[in-house]
Structure 1
Amino acid sequence: MPTPPETARRASFDDWGPYGLLAVGTVTAAGSARLVGMSRGELYAAAVLLAAALLLQLVWGPVTGHRSVPSRTSAGLYFLRWALAFVLTWLNPFFAFYAVAGYYSAGHQLPRRLVLPGLCLTAVTMAGSEVGGMPPRGAVLWIGFVVVLGANIGLVAVFTRFALQEQERLSAQAGTIAELERTNTALQQALDENAALHAQLLVQAREAGVADERRRLAAEIHDTIAQGLTGIIAQLQVVANATDLTTARTHLERASSLARHSLGEARRSVHNLAPVALTVDGLPEALRKTVAEWGERSGVRAEFTVTGTAEQLHDEVSATLLRIAQEALSNAARHAAAHRLGVTLSYMGDEVSLDIRDDGTGFDPAAVPARTRAAGFGLDGMRARAERIAGTFAVESEPGGGTALSARVPLVRDDR
């Protein structure tokens, strides 16, 4: 995890700041030693204390492990540095430069309960320096010391309060950010799981669709091609046993008609076996061509409309909707006897809707033959297709009132 800029700056000051303050205090104290009247003994004492302060700073980092967190060790070192700075400032007020480090480092080197006492002790050192050195000489300087100390402690209290409030605000902000990160992580996991479930659902839908197509094709072969071939055989048998040419010619024409009809049904079944149109065009254009070709074949006025903004859908979603449309058109051609038919494809945010309406004879949905449902095609087949990709299918119809079919499926985009 990257180090925040504020933490990096603080660590840099903890490493080098006290050295700089000690150096400034030493230079200014040396220049003012004669002015403040330091004796030879005080000079020797100051030198020893400076060596001790330098040694303290050298061992500070290794002892604390360069950690900017409060501990007993860092608290002990803090108060030891304060004692050295206090005595040095007693010897020469200009050593107060070194004591300034106590203001900066109390917040992250002392436990919270010791922060205010540590700052107050530093304020005592600074107040002594500001009145000319310790101890104050005379009643006036003592009074001045008390006043200056009170001002320093007052400022310390005010700024400490502000610092604590800012720290609490930052802690609350950090907690909020952490909670948002956890929420985003959980949301991303949910989205990933949802995407995986969608992918699994589409795979299952594709596998189920293969089986469904086999059942549908078997039923179509039985209901159209096989029956047509049976009829042709029956007509040819009549021809074979006919005693006059007229009867033979009539039954041959019927056999020829049945053959043409069966050929047309075979071509239609092969055309619907796979959504070939989707290999070239998107779903809207494939539906448009399918509806137009169906209208030309059936002689019914057929219209196709797209609403919303068209998007590139997942292959399985496009194939499912095209299959439902093909099945609905096939049913309409067989049973509806309609004059007009409309197909509408609607893109609605997170859903896609396919609606097919005709003005045909209509029917009672509850009265659909049980054998049709068991075969797995027709209305139940369309419903099963939609439900396999987490969609819904609805039918509204009544005898003489036309039919309306509606399939609504999730809008799953093609991410390729």
Structure 2
Amino acid sequence: MASDKPEFLQEAGPAAWRLAAQVVTAVGQVLLWILTGIGRLLKPLTGRLVASLYGRSTPPDPSHRAPGGTMYARPGAAAPTPHTPPLLRWLHAWRRFGRSWWYGPVTGAVLALAALFEIPLHHRQAVSLLGGFALASTVPLMFRRESLRPAAAITLGALAASLLSGQPLLATTAFAALYTLFLLAQQLPRQSTGVLGVGSVVAVGVVYVASGSLDGIPWPASLVAVVAALGLGDARRTVETAEASMDEERERNSETLTRLNAVQREQAVLRERARIARELHDVVAHSVSMIAVQAETAPYTMQTLSPEAKNGFAEIAGAAREALEEMRRLLSVLRAEPNAEPAEVTPQPRLDRLNELIDSHRGAGGEAQLRVNGAVRPLSTTIELSAYRIVQEALTNARRHAPGSRVRVELDYLGDRLAVRVTDDGSPVPVTRVENRTKAMGHGLVGMRERATLLGGRFAAGPRAEGGFAVQAELPVGQNRRS
């Protein structure tokens, strides 16, 4: 059925709506411009106000920056004292006050004094029936932490008696009653809180019917205030229960993570020891196999040997072969780990290959220098292998945690030990990464420490005072010679 309205009337409605929308948009845009301009004018003032309340973050002192960009404290310099913003100081002071034993007596006494000062505003004397009811409704709150339920009974009963006797309602006594309901709902079970709510609503209804003390307050407002006080108390109890549960959960998670980290570290130690044992097996196996071969070939190369000497060489070869079999059996146990790394089949590296290691580090984008001090002399294969692996792991950690830094490798041939030192000067990486470097390099440091400890040496690693990181190891050599 066609519309009876003229065509211009049908189009006038949408046009009027679009025009009204444009007018509203224009007015709103003008208001936004005005508010934006006011905000820009007040921005310096608000910035100073916020800075005075919350504090202003100050940039770090450039004198504490290491040459490579890493932040370290200067040697002997006192640590800067952190500045607490005023607002946080006030909040901390209030929290300390709230946790103190005199919080309840002080706040209750202040509320009682406020009630006495409010009584003259209603043209009544402080020493009167209203004053007695006011004190009875506020003074018990001084003991609310020790005996909440008896104090609440006195407070609510005194207020109900005051209203039923026709006394005017004081703002302080009304606040005391609502606060008491809040505290009860915060501590009582939810079922008891429901019973308390029903009783409070009935009591408010009885006061409205039996006296005119609340005639100036609409009854819906009174009911909403009572229900709101109980609801806020119940919500607070729920929040506190949830926070307690979260704290317990965080504590359990922390304990679990601590145990997990301990297990992971123990597994890393075991894996590194197995790896070191495999490498040492390869070294010792080579030497023992050489002994066996020499002992077996001696009777054929030396024709003048007596039968007793030939038997001695045979026993040496047999003992060497048995030792090799025992080492292979032990190594098979180590290699039985499900996640064990495959053993190397190439010859184990020694210190004469350090230049190749330095060149590979440079090829990966790093800077490294090698310096050798003292009289270079041949050492045992185990000592040279351990020193090589320590330098290799230190260079790997430098590339991983301080990319682009300059690394210095030093070998000191001392009388009874070989000192290995690998240092870097830091790198322009985030400060938090460098500060947590010791933790992040956990497994690498474990391997280096295990190598030094198994040989009876010493090991140390950590940040340097002038910036960067240092790895130091001392391996005892005694009278060892190249095997």
* TM superposition score category, shorter chain reference: 0.3 to 0.5
The structure richer in helix per residue is: 1
TM-score (structure 1 length as normaliser) = 0.41
Higher relative contact order (CA 8 A, sep 6+): 2
